[in-house]
Amino acid sequence: MMEEEELEFVEELEAVLQLTPEVQLAIEQVFPSQDPLDQADFNAVEYINTLFPTEQSLANIDDVVNKIRLKIRRLDDNIRTVVRGQTNVGQDGRQALEEAQKAIQQLFGKIKDIKDKAEKSEQMVKEITRDIKQLDHAKRHLTTSITTLNHLHMLAGGVDSLEAMTRRRQYGEVANLLQGVMNVLEHFHKYMGIPQIRQLSERVKAAQTELGQQILADFEEAFPSQGTKRPGGPSNVLRDACLVANILDPRIKQEIIKKFIKQHLSEYLVLFQENQDVAWLDKIDRRYAWVKRQLVDYEEKYGRMFPREWYMTERISVEFCHVTRTELSKIMRARAKEIEVKLLLFAIQRTTNFEGFLAKRFSGCTLSDGTLKKLESPPPSTNPFLEEETTPEMEELEKGELEQPKKPKAPDNPFHGIVSKCFEPHLYVYIESQDKNLSELIDRFVADFKAQGPPKPNTDEVGAVLPSCADLFVYYKKCMVQCSQLSTGEPMIALTTIFQKYLREYAWKILSGNLPKTSSSSGGLTISSLLKEKEGSEVARFTLEELCLICSILSTAEYCLATTQQLEEKLKEKVDVSLTERINLTGEMDTFSTVISSSIQLLVQDLDAACDPALIAMSKMPWQNVEHVGDQSPYVTSVILHIKQNVPIIRDNLASTRKYFTQFCIKFANSFIPKFITHLFKCKPISMVGAEQLLLDTHSLKMVLLDLPSIGSQVVRKAPASYTKIVVKGMTRAEMILKVVMAPHEPLVVFVDNYIKLLTDCNTETFQKILDMKGLKRSEQSSMLELFRQRLPAPPSGTESSSTLSLMAPTPEQESSRIRKLEKLIKKRL
């Protein structure tokens, strides 16, 4: 029972002494200890084993027990001391708390005393500052009163002096006094309710009105509207009057300026009346010479009378321009039939020169002042083909101008169009003249081409752009720059229409009209071609001169295409922004693109026609009688010979237009390879050796075609990837056809599967042609065709409709078969 009680006591003790990990960690941080008895995971058995590791160590058990008892005794003493020390802690804490509460009460008492004293001090300060504020208000009011009285005295004295000086016309003193009176009067705006102040304000307004009327009367007397003689010079009174007018209502100043300018230009209206000879365009210089003399006369006589900020010289010039524009518009409407191109351009040139003279001398600040509305200045007229970014197409156009040093860009002319606008309604004369000149220019180009003939081989002219093309665009440049200086509105649109017309005519008459004609230019059949084929003669081919001509026309068309695009951009820069959408030369660029395509097609047809006899010879050879495989066949040699003759000539002539030479190669490959395969199907029957020979020939042609872009050239270039892909795909199909022909037709299933694998062609007619090439009988072909239909892979359900459509569309082989039937029918009838 005792042992059980002890065990229960130990378990309860362990439960009581079980601490949480956080508490245990805090104890270890406060009281660090290395004693095993202080560890949280203390194990009595391990501790005893540590003390007595061996049996021999048990001999010291008494000493160990004594040490532990001594340690227990010390711990008990420490615990007892601590417990006894805590007996008086509660009483000491209560005593400290009472002392703290007493200190807080004393502190509150002191704070209350300080607050009461602060309130008394604040009240005292308020009483002191109240008296000071009253004194400040009194001082400010007194100062304001004294200032107002001074201003009132100044205003009353100034009004009296102003009225007296006005009567005596002492404008010099009035100018200074009036400004001061008006400044003083501004201080009395808030006192206008006082009758005396309002009366003084009305007297000032009345004085201003009287001054304005008096000054206008003085100017009317000095410069009478209907006077027969102008005074010799200005007076000091009028000069001072202008200073006064600067202060008065702006309408007074405007009225003075208007009357003076009108009187100054009255002589001009008389001298250049509509019925006078000097009023016509051929003597337009005299108008501008007259106003220049008047400006010099004004500077000498009246330059010091008007203030500089009135810009009287510029105002006289601007009003002269408005009057001149009105008078010229009137006289040109009355005598519109007498206007000629040279006369119109002469007048416009002199007018624009005068506008430039005004821009150099004046700033144009009065153009937006009052009734003088500033005209919109057009974009600066720059040469459309002279820029830093030049292209090879424009080098010839810029040759002359580039040798000259570049000038800095001129600033906008604010006076542009201030007079020359009146010529715009009559620019149709200029447009009609350019239409006529361009028509004559095109006719001259046609005549010169016929007289000079095509470019000569082995000369610098071969493959070069026709000179007439550069001449045409140089003339276009000149017209565009000239017209943009005259107007940037509707006349530019009319000129663009003229440009479009003669770009098309140049493409038709000079380029398309001089392309060599073929017996079957459209690719169709003619009776002459059939007769020549029947007689065994070759189809007519282009001469070396004709090939060079086609290349020159192609290069010229490319030049025109690029330059037309630049022309469109420059026209859009020259014309008003609102009209840019109406400039569109896409149709003309398409026309030149058509000329390029036609030229390439002619070159392809010529080389294609040269290869036709060799292909016909291939199809007529007895391939079933070939006994051994030798070198390439004669027809291959013939094809290679024609390619080596034509392609280097075309490549050299199209050296400046490399991309179109690539197009020529691609189109020739697309034309020659299907035709070669068509003639390949005509070679029947073919023996095994014959098929091997054809396969060798096909490989030879394939290598020649792959080398076509650089054939006969010292510089070997890699053929374009697009071209190589077409050749490899087409000629590989021809090789697969021959490999299928070489394969044994038994067993049938293997042959059919091999055909489907090599050609991936589900067309029954192609399979039929291969069987014909193998020389099989109709009875054998029928069973193989039936097996072929059975072995065909089933098309996906989604592509059923597309496969049906593809079967409905004729293949190239079907199309060539129809053409052959048509040829035979025509031959029989002939």
At 815-830, the pLDDT tens digits run 445 445 545 544 454 3
* Structure confidence at residue 405 as a pLDDT band (50, 70, 90): very low
User: What is the pLDDT averaged over residues 153-167?
Assistant: 71
DSSP string covering 603-649: HHHHHHHHHHHHHHHHHHS-GGG--S--S--HHHHHHHHHHHHHHHH
Q: Where is average pLDDT lowest: 393-397, 480-484, 606-610?
A: 393-397
Weakest mean pLDDT among 173-187, 343-357, 644-658: 173-187
Whether this model's pTM surpasses 0.85: no
Residue 732 lies in a domain: no
pLDDT band at 591 (very low <50, low <70, confident <90, very high): very high
Instruction: Point out the domain boundary residue: 117, 145, 179.
Output: 117
Better-predicted residue by pLDDT, 456 or 204? 204
> Is 182 within a domain?
no
Question: Tens of pLDDT along 667-709?
Answer: 999 999 999 999 988 888 888 888 888 889 999 999 989 988 8
Averaged pLDDT for residues 387-402: 39
* pLDDT at position 421: 83
- Does 249 reside within a domain? no
Q: Could you tell me which residue, 492 or 759, shows the higher pLDDT?
A: 492
Say whether pLDDT at 4 is over 70.
no
CA distance 12 to 407: 111
**At 97, is the pLDDT very low, low, confident or very high (cuts 50, 70, 90)?**
confident
**Per-residue pLDDT tens over the stretch 712-733:** 877 777 888 999 999 999 999 8
For residue 388, the model assigns a pLDDT of 38
Strand, coil or helix: 276 = coil
Helix then strand then coil, in percent of the chain rounded to 5, is 75, 0, 25
Beta-carbon count within 10 A of 445 CB: 20
The answer, yes or no, to whether residue 759 has pLDDT greater than 70, is: yes
Cα distances (Å, whole numbers) of residue 429 to 486, 487, 582: 12, 13, 22
Q: How far is the CA of 4 from the CAs of 10, 15, 16, 17, 722, in angstroms?
A: 10, 17, 18, 20, 103
Between 413 and 48, whose confidence is greater?
48
Q: How far from 215 is each of 158, 231, 237, 249, CA to CA, in Å?
A: 20, 17, 10, 12
Q: Which of 573, 564, 432 is nearest to 504 (CA)?
A: 564
- Return the pLDDT at 760: 74
Quote the pLDDT of residue 670.
93
- Of 269 and 177, more confident: 269
Q: What is the pLDDT of residue 352?
A: 85
Regarding predicted confidence, which is higher, 538 or 278?
A: 278
Tell me if 314 is assigned to some domain: no
| Tokens 């089933």, residue located | 794
- Kind plus residue range of the DSSP H or E element containing 533: helix 527-535
What are the backbone angles phi and psi of residue 633, rounded to the nearest 5°? Answer: -70, 160
What average pLDDT does the structure give for the chain?
Answer: 77
Q: Which residue has the tokens 């003279």?
A: 357
Evaluate whether residue 272 is within a structural domain: no
Q: Would residue 674 count as lying in a domain?
A: no
pLDDT attached to residue 145: 76
- For residue 374, the SS3 value is coil
Q: How far apart are CA 755 and CA 741, in angstroms?
A: 9
Taking residues 448-454, what's their average pLDDT? Answer: 79
CA 741, CA 764: separation in Å to the nearest integer?
Answer: 15
In this prediction, residue 668 carries a pLDDT of 92
Instruction: Tell me the pLDDT band of 524, cut-offs 50, 70 and 90.
Output: very low
Q: Cα(376)–Cα(351) distance, rounded to whole angstroms?
A: 17
- Looking at the domain assignment, is residue 721 inside a domain? no
Phi, psi of 400, rounded to the nearest 5 degrees: -70, -40
Residue 316 lies in a domain: no
Host domain of residue 771 = 743-791
* For residue 391, pLDDT beyond 70: no
For 48, 258, 281, 673, the CA distances from 56, given in Å and listed in that order, are 14, 139, 146, 112
Q: Which of 117, 145, 173 is the last residue of a domain?
A: 117
Q: What is the mean pLDDT of residues 101-116?
A: 90
Task: Say if residues 733 and 813 touch (Cβ distance below 8 Å).
Answer: no
Q: What is the tally of structural domains in the chain?
A: 3
Of 402, 660, 710, 439, give the one whose Cα is nearest residue 556.
660
Least confident residue range of 96-100, 247-251, 388-392, 557-561 = 388-392
Q: Residue 596 has what pLDDT?
A: 92
> What per-residue confidence (pLDDT) applies to 276?
81
Q: Which residue has the higher pLDDT, 409 or 305?
A: 305
Tell me what pLDDT residue 34 has. 77
- pLDDT at residue 489 is higher than 60: yes
CATH of residue 502's domain is 1.10.357.50
pLDDT band at 384 (very low <50, low <70, confident <90, very high): very low
Which pLDDT score is estimated for 51? 79
pLDDT, tens digit (0-9, with 9 covering 90-100), for 799-809: 443 333 333 34
CB 323 within 8 A of CB 268: yes
Q: Which of 564, 582, 597 is the last residue of a domain?
A: 597
* pLDDT tens-digit readout, 117-138: 898 888 888 888 888 888 888 8
Per-residue model confidence (pLDDT) at position 800: 41
Cα(485)–Cα(625) distance, rounded to whole angstroms? 82
pLDDT of residue 593 exceeding 90? yes
Taking 60 as the threshold, does the pLDDT of residue 797 lie above it? no
What is the per-residue pLDDT across 272-289, written as a single tens digit (0 to 9) for each? Answer: 887 787 878 888 888 888
Percent of the chain at pLDDT > 70 equals 80
Residues 563-583: what's their mean pLDDT? 89
